[in-house]
Amino acid sequence: MARMLVKGDDVVVRLSWWEKAVARRGSVRLPSAAVCRVTVEPDWWRALRGVRLRGVWIPGALCVGTRVHQGGKDFVAVRPGGPVVCVELRPPAPFRLLAVSVRSGPQAEATAEGLRRTAPKIDTSTPWRQPLPVPGEEGEEPGRGGRPARWRVTLGSGPRITVRSRRPVLRSRPRE
């Protein structure tokens, strides 16, 4: 089972031999200056974001490896039955989140508190993880050259709906 610990000025996620094999990488080591926020998630599945990029995911059993989403990449080593220590990282780090399962709640709180003490600039404004940025939220969709996102939906013989920047506009269809 993976373990998260602090060695000197680094946060280390130490993987067992079989976790290294399925994740196709060695242990994860990041400077503690990259840590932005440390939280404990009581439900293991809430720590998972995005889709599997590299590693193994067996629904309801375990997830070890790298997951990718619109905000970047996460490294997870989680399994059901216990809480998860979630470490949010600042943008220069290769991952946005490190999520590692621990056996019990007191052990999770002790690990999180140890990480909070060693990180120099922890964001304590909120005690929970921050949501991912939504592409197109500001009215632009990535890869469209700055043009607003636009979808057209036709519902049978009813009105035509045009959506720009997530604001629906109903227009009557011209009679034929």
Q: Which of 72, 73, 92, 70 lies closest to 141 in space, CA to CA?
A: 70
Q: pLDDT, tens digit, for every residue of 99-138?
A: 999 988 888 888 888 888 888 888 777 777 777 766 665 5
In the block, residue with structure tokens 């056996």: 103
Nearest to 37 by CA among 103, 97, 78, 93: 97
Domains of the chain: which residue ranges?
3-118, 136-176
pLDDT digits (tens, 9 = 90+) for 3-24: 888 888 888 889 889 888 888 8
d(Cα 154, Cα 41) in Å, to the nearest integer?
A: 42
Q: Is residue 78 very low, low, confident or very high in pLDDT (cuts 50, 70, 90)?
A: very high
pLDDT in the model for residue 32: 87
